Amino acid sequence: MEYVTLNNGVLMPAVGFGVFQINDHDQCVQSVLDAIECGYRLIDTAQSYGNEKAVGEALRKTNVAREDLFITTKVWISNAGYDKAYQSILKSMDDLGVSYIDCVLIHQPLNDVYGTYRAMTQLYNEGKIRAIGVSNFYPDRLADFAMCNDIIPTINQIEVNPFHQQLKALEINEKFGVCVQAWAPFAEGQHDIFNNPVLASIGSRVGKTNAQVILRWLMQRNIVPLAKTVNKSRMKENLDIFDFSLTEEDMSLIATLNTDKSSFFDHQTPEAVERLLSLVRNV
């Protein structure tokens, strides 16, 4: 496994395994165990995923030492604000069965994010969190946060894939030394991405699949990809990306796929904000 160094000096694995939408408890436990066995060391969950307890059970069952794993969770909108966020993170620690969390992110740039970040900062100073950051923060929000807090976020987890390459976001995050993690690196299979001819032509040359080409493309852009699958053979495939490199020509070809549009929704629209905040009633 390769590692990246966050802006606070903490080492983080260069690729991660996400558990979004792995809703069945037993399946989530087994998927995390399989991922760890395949070589993953970064496990990404969230309060809103409803599977922190399943991840915690897998952590108790694995033979890999806790200090060799990097566990990330995220504070949901309904837990925003200093007091609620502080208590929710302690509950996440309890559900995960850990004495510290490697990284905690603000899941969405909504509600009292400043109060939430103060709680995260407090827990960071208490040694209960090793790194703090944000998720889904667009360039303007990221710049505001970086300049108005004593601790610059270590991570910004955003949608990045060949169809939404986030050029401006990468520029701003790099300016402030914030590591970008990519959720939905495969756009959840949309746009027939696994059969895309541009990616397939590159994959044919290097002897890799479209998925492996995408993950390598992200790594070469200094982005940490978070791939999800419950298929163990796919887990192995998604980790088999350290033995080849893409050329400048390959990178330029993939650049032509960019549409500058999300494959899901734009967090900056009022409709998206209303949609996300309406979910709070159901949490």
Residue 238, φ and ψ in degrees, nearest 5? -70, -15
> What is the pTM (predicted TM-score) of this model?
0.94
Binding residues for substrate: 107
Q: How many domains does the chain fold into?
A: 1
Whether the predicted pLDDT of 9 surpasses 80:
yes
Residue 135, φ and ψ in degrees, nearest 5? -145, 140
CATH number at residue 10: 3.20.20.100
Other beta carbons within 10 angstroms of residue 231's beta carbon come to 11
Q: Domain range for residue 257?
A: 3-282
Q: Which long-range contacts (CB under 8 A, 24 or more apart) does 60-64 make?
A: 60/97, 61/29, 61/33, 62/32, 62/33, 62/36, 62/37, 64/36
3, 40, 49, 138: which one is catalytic? 49
128 contacts 93 by C-beta, under 8 angstroms = yes
pLDDT at residue number 281: 54
pLDDT at residue number 264: 78
Whether the predicted pLDDT of 283 surpasses 50:
no
pLDDT by residue (tens digit) across 68-115? 999 999 999 999 999 999 999 999 999 999 999 999 999 999 999 999
Is there a catalytic annotation at residue 49? Answer: yes
pLDDT by residue (tens digit) across 209-251? 999 999 999 999 999 999 999 999 999 999 999 999 999 999 9
Q: Sort strands 155-159 and 129-135 into parallel, antiparallel or unpaired.
A: parallel
